[in-house]
Amino acid sequence: MDLNVLINSTVIDTETAALRLIVSFFAGLLVGVEREAHSQPAGLRTHILISIGSTLAMLLSIYIPQQFPDFQNGDPGRIAAQVIAGIGFLGAGAILRIGGNVKGLTTAASIWAMAIIGLAIGAGLFGISAIALGIILFSLTVMDIFEKLFFQDKIYKKIEITVKKNTAQPEDFKGVLHALKIKISAVDIRKSMADTTEKFTYYVYIPVKLDPQKLAGMIEKTEGVVAFSEELVT
């Protein structure tokens, strides 16, 4: 059969299904390779299987009413709708919580997007699927570079600073933290009339690449500092 006729065919037969499954395989392959390169929990094989499985689901959705025209409840969109709803469970498995950070949201989104692309390929929307695939790959590669360039990855931590009473103020340390591009989420100040020290607690987002020794050194240089500690917030 002529390839152009096969691409535009609305009848689901062996040749049409084979072509769409092959296209779906390569679509899943492209996104899967990108995710695998970033050592994500859902990589090459996962994205290929999602793409092919959803394509097959759409082929089945179209095939049933074509083969059984007298079946009144043959809704081509019913199986496809269940794929969209069910893929969320698989996407949730790619999301990991590590301390105060959450990883895998982008991979979960790519899983969901690949399921939709698989459905679109199964419906024969090759052009639209190619455009969507191109945008997804652009978002995962070029926009990843842009994001890392302008928005650094951060870790959520708790910083505790103990100072001699009436020596340093919370604002003194805010300036140090801002200078290191540390974003302050909340501040807790503990003072006691009986104690000779005061404790300032900062909940902050610290850039991953920041050297902990640099932060500790700048804090300890501040007059009146007695003790300094930092820990991940879980």
Q: Do residues 169 and 66 share a domain? A: no
**Last residue of one domain, picked from the residues 124, 150, 176:** 150
Q: Do residues 27 and 71 share a domain? A: yes
**Last residue of one domain, picked from the residues 150, 175, 207:** 150
SS3 227: strand
**Last residue of one domain, picked from the residues 93, 116, 150:** 150
Residue 102 has which token pair?
């959450």
Q: Do residues 110 and 165 share a domain? A: no
Give pLDDT, residue 73: 63
Q: Do residues 72 and 89 share a domain? A: yes
Q: Do residues 199 and 164 share a domain? A: yes
**pLDDT averaged per 10 residues in sequence order, the chain, 234 residues:** 78 87 91 80 80 88 78 68 79 63 74 89 89 88 75 78 85 86 84 79 84 85 85 74
Give pLDDT, residue 23: 92
Token pair 């990843």 in the structure block, residue: 144
What's the rounded Cα separation, in Å, for the pair 36 and 181? 31
Domain that holds residue 202: 154-232
**R_g (Cα) of the chain, nearest Å:** 27
Give pLDDT, residue 21: 92
3-state secondary structure 107-167: HHHHHHHHHHHHHHHHCCCHHHHHHHHHHHHHHHHHHHHHHHHHCCCEEEEEEEEEEECCC
Q: Do residues 189 and 134 share a domain? A: no
Q: Do residues 27 and 102 share a domain? A: yes
Q: Do residues 144 and 179 share a domain? A: no
Q: Do residues 195 and 127 share a domain? A: no
- State the CATH number of the domain containing residue 188: 3.30.70.260
Q: Do residues 128 and 180 share a domain? A: no
**Integer distance in angstroms from the first to the last C-alpha of the chain?**
60
Q: Do residues 146 and 168 share a domain? A: no
Give pLDDT, residue 62: 84
SS3 90: helix
What's the rounded Cα separation, in Å, for the pair 31 and 90? 16
Q: Do residues 69 and 39 share a domain? A: yes
Q: Which residues pair with 230 in a beta bridge?
A: 159
Number of domains the chain contains: 2
